[in-house]
Amino acid sequence: MKTTKREALAWARMLSLAVALSVLLTCCAAQTLDVDGDKIVEVLTRLANFSDHENPAVTRILFTPNDMLARKFVKDLMREANLVIREDPMGNIFGRWEGSDPTAPVVLTGSHTDAIPQAGMYDGTVGVIGAIEAVAALQRAGFRPARPLEVLMFSSEEPTRFGLSCSGSRALAGALREEELEGRRDAEGRHYLQVANEVGYGAASTSQLLATSRLPPGAVAHFVELHIEQGPLLEREGVSIGVVTAIAAPSALEVVFAGEGGHAGGQLMPDRNDAGLAGAELALAVEAAVLATGAADTVGTTGTFEVAPGAVNSVPREARLGIDIRDIDGPRRDGVVAAVLAAAQEIAEKRKVRLSSRVLNQDPPATCHPDIVEAVAGAAQQLGLASRRLVSRAYHDALFMARVAPTGMIFIPCRNGWSHRPDEFASPADIANGVRVLALTLARLAGGEWAKSEL
């Protein structure tokens, strides 16, 4: 027993020494971590030029010419950072920095560069360009990772083209079914595989596309994503770094009302079953159902509202609504979804319109891994940056990566909490802080050595 105790003590001493040395080394490295926020913003500005709308509005839809140009831009940056590029059939792009143990599971970081119509230049992009810059800063600081480090640009985080968020990360996580991906069509009636094949990704079949994109079990040691908050908390409280503890449970519905339509002059009011008015009532019912929970964390949005035929002198024959409902509490979110579907049914009966509705997705919330939460919080502390723990109400690829690897997220403040709009903004200083925290977090998660010169 004594011997064992002595041995244990010796081990404990050695371990403390090792940890102290590691913290010391990292501290020194952190002080010299050279990250230039203005330079990153300059790169983000160049990336923003690949847009279907004139800047400051950014529109970059999956596999369109501007998306392909943005992909080339990202790959060029990866090459400049000496990363080895690999792309999967879904269009996910990986840039690998080999570790001293090439067989170890990788530490992965990344985000997306696609953008919904008329969005801004920071959502997603900060986590891709920032990750490349974090790796470059680690290289400049003489760090050599033990585990391999990979920067990842996810394909199709935004649902614009196929109505499905996070297609790339769902596929990586094995959380995407063949029927699901083939059932989603773009405005031209084509599905993911067809469009992917046209631009040089893709496979012989959707089944093969998914099978070859899926990450092998245990391949990823950790996943961490840097992102703008898309909420007002950090800015409001003057805090530089948000340490994400959970990602809210999102749900998306499509509701279609169909009536007879008719001439806006000729059809008398009692003869109408106006699908547009049914849609208007439902949009207001979504708001009411959300407010009825009384919880600040419940949000609901009717983000798309299309009427057909869409002529000023024609009674709407069809209204098609895209509804998004989220909560950090899964069952409470499901309650709102049920209330909205019930309201749609009631409205359809009252207005004598036909109803069809689809739940496009209803994913569970994700919890961030305590190791990564600690690593991010520790990195912020080490850099002398104020941080707070918070919940992500926005959808992220991290939600799906959490199914296959310990996952975490780093948030930085954005102006007024705005995103998905042209005046979305994050300051160069906040971006640089986020990149420094990401770099140190990656170093902590990957393990490795700092160059002697940094001591």
Number of residues forming the site for its own copies (CB under 8 A): 77
Q: Nearer to its own copies by C-beta: 310 or 370?
A: 310
Stretch that binds its own copies, among 28-36, 187-195, 330-338, 393-401 (CB under 8 A): 393-401
Kindly tell me which of 147 and 317 has the beta carbon lying closer to its own copies.
317
* Closer by beta carbon to its own copies, 88 or else 274: 274
Q: Which stretch binds its own copies (CB under 8 A): 43-51, 132-140, 185-193, 275-283?
A: 275-283
Q: How far is the CB of 441 from its own copies (least distance, A)?
A: 22
| Residues between 157 and 176 that touch its own copies (CB under 8 A) | 158-160, 163, 165
Write out the binding residues for its own copies, residues 103-162 only, by CB under 8 A. Answer: 116-119, 123, 158-160
In the bound complex, what is the minimum distance in angstroms from residue 123's beta carbon to its own copies?
A: 8
Q: How far apart are the first and last CA of the chain?
A: 40
Q: Which is nearer to its own copies, 307 or 379 (CB)?
A: 307
- Residue 266 near its own copies by CB under 8 A: yes
CB 145 within 8 A of CB 107: yes
Say if residues 74 and 128 touch (Cβ distance below 8 Å).
Answer: yes
Least distance from C-beta 414 to its own copies, angstroms?
9
At a CB cut-off of 8 Å and minimum separation 6, what does 266 contact?
Answer: none
**Least distance CB 412 / its own copies (angstroms):** 13
User: Scanning residues 306 to 325, which ones bind its own copies (CB under 8 A)?
Assistant: 306-317, 319, 322-324
Least gap, CB of 158 to its own copies (angstroms): 7
Q: How far is the CB of 177 from its own copies (least distance, A)?
A: 20
Site for its own copies, residues 205 to 264, rule: CB under 8 A: 229-232, 248, 250, 252, 260-264
For its own copies, which is the closer residue by CB, 355 or 375?
Answer: 355
- Based on the shown chain and the rule CB under 8 A, indicate whether residue 367 belongs to the binding site for its own copies: no
H helical segments located in 173-222: 178-183, 192-198, 206-213
Return the structure tokens found at 74. 């990202």
Burial class (CB in 10 A: 0-12, 13-18, 19+), 17: exposed
Q: Are 140 and 34 in contact (CB under 8 A)?
A: yes
- CA dist 301 and 323 (Å) reads 6
Site string for its own copies, 406-445 (x = CB under 8 A): ----------xxxxxx------------------------
343 binds its own copies (CB under 8 A): no
Q: Report how far residue 127's alpha carbon sits from residue 340's, in angstroms, rounded to the nearest whole number.
A: 34
In whole angstroms, how close is the CB of 228 to its own copies at the nearest point?
A: 9
Shortest Å, Cβ 70 to its own copies: 18
| C-beta of 216 vs 265, nearer to its own copies | 265
Instruction: Name the nearest CA neighbour of 151 among 112, 103, 196.
Output: 112
> Which residue among 156, 213, 302, 387 contacts its own copies (CB under 8 A)?
302
Indicate whether 283 belongs to the interface with its own copies (CB under 8 A).
Answer: yes
CB-CB neighbours of 121 under 10 Å: 25
Burial class (CB within 10 angstroms; exposed 0-12, middle 13-18, buried 19+) of 146:
middle
Q: CA 385, CA 295: separation in Å to the nearest integer? A: 30
Q: How far apart are CA 327 and CA 336, in angstroms?
A: 9
Burial of 100 (0-12, 13-18, 19+ CB in 10 A): middle
373 contacts its own copies (rule: CB under 8 A): no
Which residue in the set 91, 99, 276, 434 belongs to the binding site for its own copies (CB under 8 A)? Answer: 276
Residue 110 and residue 74: Cα distance in Å, rounded?
12
Which residue, 222 or 317, is less far from its own copies as judged by CB? 317
Give CA–CA dist 415/428, Å, rounded.
12
Closest separation in Å from C-beta 55 to its own copies: 15
Whether the CB-CB separation of 134 and 435 falls below 8 Å is answered with yes
> Residue 166 carries which DSSP code?
T
CA pseudo-torsion sign 169, 170, 173, 176: negative
Q: Choose the binding region for its own copies from 27-35, 127-135, 300-308, 340-348 (rule: CB under 8 A).
A: 300-308
CA distance 303 to 321: 8
CA of residue 391 relative to chain centroid, distance? 14
